[in-house]
Chain A
Amino acid sequence: MATKPIVKEAVTIKFAGDSGDGMQLTGGLFTSNTALTGSDLATYPDFPAEIRAPAGTLAGVSGFQIHFGSHKIFTPGDQFDVLVAMNAAALKTNVDRLDKTGTVIVNADGFDKKNLRLAKYEDTNPLEDGSLDGYDVIQMPITKLTRDTLADSSLGMKEKDRCKNMFVLGFLYWKYSRSMDETVDWLRGKFAHKPEILNANIKVLKSGYNFANTSETFATQYEVKAAPLQSGTYRGIMGNEALVMGLITGAQKAGIPLFYGSYPITPASDILHGLATYKHFGVKTFQAEDEIAAVCAAIGASYGGNLGITGTSGPGLALKGEAIGLAMILELPLVICNVQRGGPSTGLPTKTEQADLLQAMYGRNGESPIPIVSAKSPADCFEAAFEACRIAIQHMTPVVLLSDGYIANGSEPWLFPSADDIPPIKVSFSREKSNGTPFMPYSRDENLIREWAIPGTPGLAHRIGGLEKEANTGNVSYDPANHEYMVKTRAAKVDKIAELIPPLELESGDPDGDLLMLGWGSTFGTIQSVARKLSTDGYKVAHAHLRYLHPFQQNLGAILAGYKRVLIPEINNGQLSKLIRDRYLIDVVQYNKIQGMPISKSELEYAAKELLAQIND
């Protein structure tokens, strides 16, 4: 047995292999095993766009990244400390993000002539040509070792080979001083009815563990201790999963049925899949014939007194624009979940981007302001979704909820709330009228909100529609002054929300200083990591992150005024920057990355330091 494990503060591992190599499962199992150690963590999967790209090709590489540590973890990590490469293509597509002193664990069996050719290594083998010099290279014939382990098994060769991811997992469990018990338990549940496959997986898992333990070459063991996380009960959560639960909680807390109309689109389809498993909550899911029918059915359901919700990604939001404008002028509740992806047009369907902010803000004809709420991390999708439901119901308006591919598929530990601590959402449907006074569907309360009068209510029969309506009565009106009044009233109704939501609070830093980093959405983790690091290094840096993109919180202007410069990092070409300049006339500094991937900590830190150097010049 080796000596005491070397303690590391944080480690990033990237599991990469062919689509058929089971890398998502391996990463997922390593993640739940990590969570049990008490370390904080964040993960991000990296799927190929094609469902079944040819085996061994660069396009077929599937990856799963986990960053875990004994301190607070905000992102899935920039550079990897460890790269698991199950074949040549996996190495080629990932090696440039391996830390200079990193470890690469390779399945040597995935580097035969065919694999090298498919990975476009021309007449060279990276395992032999010196290109990996400087890295700690652990080469193992994983396919062969797996087959040897299962020599006595009656499984076919294909099924045996499918167990090779367990070898890697066992190997890493030993390397990171882990117990295999939880994974074995999980396998027992998963393959309860397939004993032969169960035994093979356990055998190979142990084989990988023992191989690491007994081979002198790999004698170094590591350990990452628990992070000082708030005490309580945790679970792992992915963004889309949290979003689903936030929507259901919103509807349940309002005491009305949830109706979800949607058309499959990456990366939002998992919201439809998720909601469809909660029919026992009275959740109605409707896979419509297209994006337009999906939103229209949701509006129809809202008209009938359900919480109508639709979900999509950028191209789908474009198709829904006209119907969202109708919901706006009808003044009915509607939540539009937009899990953003790379655009324009079909763009980069499996990659992330934050480029639909201006579409959410302005992507409709006429004056059509609607509230926009955004989620900043996988677990935060829960609260953001709940808040979108609350605003839609209580303010009788469509609300756009912005998430993106990065947080939709990313995961993190979640100190989840008790449902009993979540406040109810008050719904007041208009009551029956019998005293003969005419019903005024577009009369408003002090917050300019109209009543929700649903068909079937005695005495309230009335018509609504997309033509401009007269104030109070809702009758069709072409009167010029009335139109201007209604346009301004609908805008004021949305602006009023700012008076009723909590003020913006800094994520870190002091209320005045040299630099404010202002962000929204999935850049939260990167900005927060960088802001903390710069503060620790003595810079006067603060971080604010916007939940509400329309209307802005009332104190945002005052916060912006507290700093010499404002830096806005975004995964787009500067969309929040435009909105902030327009509203506050501040010369903000943009930091934009538009590569279908998150901003890395190192590049943002570099940009922030350059700006700080100018400020302090």
Chain B
Amino acid sequence: MAVQADIKGEGNGFKAKDFATNQDVRWCPGCGDYSILKQVQSVFAELGLDKDQVAVISGIGCSSRFPYYMETYGMHSIHGRAPAFASGLKMANPELSVWVITGDGDGFSIGGNHMLHVLRRNFDLNILVFNNQIYGLTKGQYSPTSEVQKKTKSTPMGSLDYPVNPSAFALGASATFVARSMDRDPKHLKATLHRSNAHKGTSFLEIYQNCNIYNDGAFFAFTEKSSKSENCLFLEQGQPLVFGMEQDKGVTIDGLRPTIVDLNNGYSKGDLWIHDEEDIFKASMLARFFDDPAVEGHLPRPFGVLYQSDRPAYEVSMFDQLDNARSQKGKGDLNEMIAGSRTWQIK
């Protein structure tokens, strides 16, 4: 993947440790959040971001403690609303590099509405969704991404909720950048974070994150060496969709249906679906590669950038309107405004 430096802060010379605060990190030992924090700090350093030009905005939940550990500007706001705070901040100061940290509950349950609207408006900011398919901070209830029949403290007989598909949700909200990565693949996570940062517009990055206390192993099918390559489809722009332990399985399109084919048995890479992240129709299908990995014949889960397109960022259009208003009406004059168009004299 292409690694692009942010022009704003290039050459500030901050190292990963310069992005760490002096506060004790209070996630449970073994939590996947540690890895994400580490990769974000090192990517910020690689990007040459200026820590005074970065704002990290979070909601509520385990993941939302993130800003306290980032030596940048930051706000730990209220449950589900981080996208709204970040949108306001971006409209106040479009120059800032703004990162929204949220989780599956914060982002898709209490904050689902804001997630929908921030994506369609396309502010130039980056959203990292730490998806652990559980409520950790409230000690183990099912989340909107938990699987059906999940047994938790609040669902002793199994959950009845059908889970949200985050990628499909984001595409449905007309997001301009949709990607997926995981806590246990630092290299992939870093590369994807670089892509998030490079995107002008709202970047939506779902990160599979292990909660080792309340939902340990939820993503092991994708993250553990033994099963990873059979279950994960790592997307590369312009490359055929290949996966499998021996890289000998491919995905092709049979009519309108994605189909798994065996590269050792009559198919070559030339027959396969070529990944084009700017193709919304292909991206929509990829987002539906959401099978349970335990089910026989399941499609592999895509990782990397599913979709990327360019659309003007909201705040850019907003500032254009302000400029247009000024060029049409001139800079506002308070006395003219207060007097209005109809006055009269009392002698």
Contacts and interface: CB of A to CB of B under 8 A. Distances in A.
Interface string B293-314: 0000000000000000000000
Interface stretch (B189-197, B209-217, B273-281, B332-340): B332-340
B169 interface: no
A294 B86 CA distance: 12
Given A326-B77, A466-B76, A235 B343 contact: yes
Contacts of B322: 279-280, 282, 284
Contacts of A289: 113-114, 116-117
Contacts of A458: 52
A252 B332 CA distance: 10
B23 interface: yes
B138 interface: no
B96 interface: yes
Given A281-B332, A326-B77, A306 B68 contact: no
Residue among B85, B86, B114 with the highest chain A CB neighbour number at 10 A: B85
Interface stretch (B87-95, B176-184, B230-238): B87-95
Interface in B312-339: 318, 321-322, 324-326, 328-332, 334-335, 337-339
Contact of A235 (B89, B321, B331, B340): B340
A455 interface: yes
Interface in A462-484: 462-467, 475-476
B76 A300 contact: no
Residue among B52, B71, B344, B345 with the highest chain A CB neighbour number at 10 A: B344
B71 to A, nearest CB: 6
B88 A248 contact: no
A436 to B, nearest CB: 14
A416 interface: yes
Given A249-B334, A305-B93, A476-B68, A32 B342 contact: yes
Interface stretch (A84-92, A226-234, A336-344, A492-500): A226-234
Contacts of B116: 289
B113 A457 contact: no
Contacts of B332: 248, 252, 278, 280-282
A579 B129 CA distance: 45
B345 A455 contact: no
A297 B77 contact: no
A304 B321 CA distance: 20
A280 B337 CA distance: 11
A292 interface: yes
A300 B77 CA distance: 10
B337 A278 contact: yes
Contact of A280 (B74, B117, B326): B326
Contacts of B134: none
A153 to B, nearest CB: 29
A502 interface: no
A280 B52 contact: no
Contact of B113 (A38, A293, A382): A293
B165 interface: no
Contacts of A304: 88-93, 96
A406 interface: no
Nearest to A279: B325
B67 A280 contact: no
A469 to B, nearest CB: 10
B25 interface: no
Nearest to B329: A280
B43 interface: no
A580 to B, nearest CB: 33
B53 interface: yes
Interface string B51-71: 111110100100000011011
B78 A323 contact: yes
Contacts of A235: 339-340, 342-344
Interface string A190-228: 000000000000000000000000000000000000100
B73 A245 contact: no
A182 to B, nearest CB: 9
A130 interface: no
Contacts of B331: 280-281
Nearest to B328: A280
12 contacts: A282-B326, A282-B332, A293-B81, A293-B113, A299-B77, A303-B85, A304-B89, A416-B338, A456-B96, A462-B73, A464-B74, A465-B68
Interface of A: 32, 35-36, 38, 226, 229-237, 245, 248-249, 252, 257, 259, 261, 278-282, 284, 286, 288-290, 292-294, 296-306, 308, 322-323, 326, 330, 382, 415-420, 454-467, 475-476
Given A279-B321, A455-B93, 19 more contacts: A230-B346, A233-B346, A234-B344, A235-B340, A257-B92, A280-B325, A282-B332, A286-B87, A300-B75, A301-B91, A303-B55, A303-B92, A304-B91, A308-B92, A455-B53, A455-B55, A463-B70, A465-B67, A465-B75
